[in-house]
Amino acid sequence: MNVETALQKLKEKGYKRTKQRERILEIFVKQDQYIAAKEILKEIQNDFPGVSYDTIYRNLYMLTDVDILEATELGGEKHFRLGCDTHGHHHHFICTTCGKTKSIEFCPMDSINENLNGYDVENHKFEIYGKCPQCH
């Protein structure tokens, strides 16, 4: 997804176009990996020295809410990445050194639902951690 597509999606949902949001989206479009919230803050501060924590966190959660970003917890910190909606539901290998990800086109839930009769599945998480070929 590119920045304009994302902003268009926001507009449809009634959100305004702001310089801060553009800048946040740019960062994610440029980097195909999970990024910690504080990293985003640092980057944005280059262009907007006075950005508020509030602005960053509110937008990251909002963007996750409208499925533009995906969120996960790595090392006790919330991380975000651009949702890869070009292909369907999938999971990720995440490099513990550089943070880059590799898509895993396989979802364990497909073959598991028969074992969960009576259980109401709301969500699931499947992540693989390790070293990518470059960092290995």
Give me the residues that bind a second copy (CB under 8 A), please.
73, 76, 78, 93, 96, 102, 104-106, 108-109, 111-112, 115-116, 118-133, 136
End-to-end CA distance of the chain: 29
Q: Residues with Cβ < 8 Å from 83, sequence gap 6 or more?
A: 1, 67, 68, 69, 70
Could you give the CA distance from residue 45 to residue 52 in angstroms, rounded to a whole number? 9
Binding DNA (rule: CB under 7 A), the pick from 12, 46, 50, 118 is 50
Could you give the CA distance from residue 114 to residue 38 in angstroms, rounded to a whole number? 41
Report whether 107 belongs to an annotated binding site: no
104 interacts with, out of DNA, a second copy, none, CB within 5 to 8 A per kind: a second copy
Q: How far is the CB of 114 from DNA (least distance, A)?
A: 34
Residue 21 binds DNA (CB under 7 A): yes
Report whether 135 belongs to an annotated binding site: yes
